[in-house]
Chain A
Amino acid sequence: SAVISQKPSRDICQRGTSLTIQCQVDSQVTMMFWYRQQPGQSLTLIATANQGSEATYESGFVIDKFPISRPNLTFSTLTVSNMSPEDSSIYLCSGRTGIAEAFFGQGTRLTVV
């Protein structure tokens, strides 16, 4: 399976600021997804990152708060905008090569103070 490099691995940010998380895959993938995970909890899908077009967001997530880019088949970014302490979480990107199997980056642990 492909390898996903995600950075930063962790960050502590001031409220009101924005953080951009990068996700780089070592091979082309058809699908990329962004998830949020509270510590010890399950994964919640934020959006599907579409190459060359706007991301598809899940209920409760909006583009203004979580803008996503995917300029090519191996790279995507997620920005957490105007952060508040409620945005403190683990953010994970995931890639898929056309079948259901999905692989994940190591995650970004975000703390907003």
Chain B
Amino acid sequence: GQQLNQSPQSMFIQEGEDVSMNCTSSSIFNTWLWYKQDPGEGPVLLIALYKAGELTSNGRLTAQFGITRKDSFLNISASIPSDVGIYFCAGQTVSGNTPLVFGKGTRLSVIA
């Protein structure tokens, strides 16, 4: 099946630093989504991207849909302790009622 390669697997950063993570695929995706999951909770949608080249922000978060449609990145600026969690990229290869494919996640730790 489809696979998303998400990196890095984990990150330890100082509070206030910027963070960048990305996902790549060998296949073209029509949609890229970024989720955050806190312990004991389900994933929460952060940003959704629908067009190649699209750059979308949500507060301190910015995500981009790669021009090749095979990659996406998520940036977090000026990290704070509550940014701690696991971030997942997800994508949909075709439009319509097909399930999302998830990356393996990036575990973010913020040191105050």
A107 close to B42 (CB less than 8 A): yes
State the Cβ distance, B1 to closest chain A Cβ, in Å: 8
Secondary structure class of chain A's binding surface, majority of residues: strand
Secondary structure class of chain B's binding surface, majority of residues: loop
A42 close to B40 (CB less than 8 A): no
**Residues in B whose Cβ lies below 8 Å from that of A45:** 99
B44 close to A106 (CB less than 8 A): no
A30 close to B45 (CB less than 8 A): no
Interface size class of B (residues with CB under 8 A): 20 to 34
B104 close to A107 (CB less than 8 A): no
- Roughly how many angstroms separate A109 CA and B40 CA in the complex, as a whole number? 8
- Roughly how many angstroms separate A96 CA and B97 CA in the complex, as a whole number? 9
Q: List 9 A-B contacts (CB under 8 A).
A: A6-B42, A41-B104, A42-B103, A96-B97, A100-B50, A100-B95, A102-B100, A106-B42, A107-B40
List chain A positions with a Cβ less than 8 A from chain B: 1, 4, 6, 30-31, 33, 40-43, 45, 48, 59, 92, 94, 96, 100-107, 109
